[in-house]
């Protein structure tokens, strides 16, 4: 089974950049056959993943960079996000109890609900983190 | 995102138009809190919201909690499909007071 890299982009960790990321994910997901409903859900998960990097990895440092790529192996879409911030505490990233009604903490829940699989870790070369997410499309 | 605010007899109607996301949710939050700090009931119109992320949802949750604390009436109306999808994912559609119309909220406020 061949894997096609649909695109790779590198952008600054700025909130204003996320509207472009959302458009790219939606258009690309629909172009490989995802229905509108699934495409919109994928947009939510990717947007939240980027927000987590901006807010928690770079802590608002807008000079930080995010590399995002989207791949298609015909059965699944793969999303890979890489940042070059200090390694985050992986144990601190978990979905919160939804019965605990409070502002914040929903991003990881959205990713868990929408994606079939996700994994995160530190880059080998030193500083930085990655997040891989997968979603079946057929 | 544009914000439209309308003063009514016994409440303030605030509507968001566009994306309530990381770049705009602090404005949404500030306006919601300002209304509540003036001791006014609040109705939030989400009919023109084409995207809302978890930071936008957090602004709504904060407003809801402040209103509860101050015994003010908090409501959402005209929720767009895009916004409802996110509220459902967060299971908040079962938490927020959601009204079918402005009139229904007004009756509840009276």
Considering only CB atoms, A18 lies closest to which of B21, B54, B89, namely B21
pTM for the model stands at 0.94
Considering only CB atoms, B19 lies closest to which of A19, A106, A114, namely A19
A51/B22 touch (CB, cutoff 8 Å), yes or no? yes
Top-level class of domain A4-136: alpha beta
Q: Residue A101's pLDDT is what?
A: 77
Q: Residue A125's pLDDT is what?
A: 72
Q: How does pLDDT run across B35-94, given as a tens digit for each residue? A: 999 999 999 999 999 999 999 999 999 999 999 999 999 999 999 999 999 999 999 999
Does the CB of A41 have a partner CB in chain B at under 8 Å? yes
For CA atoms A109, A112, A115, A119, the dihedral sign is positive
B23/A16 touch (CB, cutoff 8 Å), yes or no? yes
A19/B21 touch (CB, cutoff 8 Å), yes or no? yes
Closest C-alpha to B19, from A49, A60, A35, A18: A18
Residue A92 has pLDDT above 90, yes or no: no
Residue A95 has pLDDT above 90, yes or no: no
Q: How does pLDDT run across A40-53, given as a tens digit for each residue? A: 999 999 999 999 99
Mean pLDDT for A124-133 is 90
Q: How does pLDDT run across A5-55, given as a tens digit for each residue? A: 999 999 999 999 999 999 999 999 999 999 999 999 999 999 999 999 999
Question: B interface mutation test: which of A36, A96, A103, A113 has the most B CBs within 10 A?
Answer: A103
Query: Residue A137, Cα to own-chain centre: how many angstroms?
Result: 17
Q: Is A69 exposed, middle or buried, given 0-12, 13-18 or 19+ CB atoms closer than 10 A? A: middle
Strands ordered across the beta sheet of B98-99:
B2-7, B11-20, B41-52, B74-77, B98-99
d(CA B35, CA B11): 9
**SS3 state at B58:** helix
Domains of chain B plus CATH, in order, are 2-105 (3.30.750.24)
């Amino acid at each position: 089974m061949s894997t096609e890299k649909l695109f790779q982009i590198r952008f600054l960790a700025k909130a204003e950049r996320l509207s472009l990321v959302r458009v790219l994910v939606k258009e690309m997901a629909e172009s490989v056959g995802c229905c509108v409903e699934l495409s919109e859900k994928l947009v939510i998960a990717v947007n939240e993943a980027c927000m987590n990097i901006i807010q928690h990895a770079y802590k608002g440092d807008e000079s930080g960079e995010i590399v995002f790529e989207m791949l298609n192996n015909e059965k699944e879409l793969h999303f890979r996000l890489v940042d070059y911030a200090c390694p985050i505490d992986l144990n601190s990233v978990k979905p919160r109890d939804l019965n605990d009604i409070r502002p914040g903490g929903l991003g990881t829940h959205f990713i868990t609900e929408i994606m079939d699989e996700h994994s995160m870790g530190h880059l080998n070369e030193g500083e930085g983190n990655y997040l891989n997410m997968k979603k079946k499309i057929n | 995102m544009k914000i439209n605010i309308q003063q009514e007899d016994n409440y303030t109607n605030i509507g968001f138009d566009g994306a309530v996301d990381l770049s705009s949710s602090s404005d949404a939050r500030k306006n919601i809190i300002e209304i509540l700090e003036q001791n006014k009931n609040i109705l939030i119109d989400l009919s023109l919201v084409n995207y809302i992320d978890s930071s936008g949802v957090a602004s709504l949750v904060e407003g809801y909690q402040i209103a509860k604390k101050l015994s003010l009436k908090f409501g959402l109306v005209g929720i767009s499909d895009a916004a409802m999808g996110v509220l459902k994912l967060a299971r908040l559609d079962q938490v927020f007071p959601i009204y079918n119309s402005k009139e229904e909220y007004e009756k509840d406020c009276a």
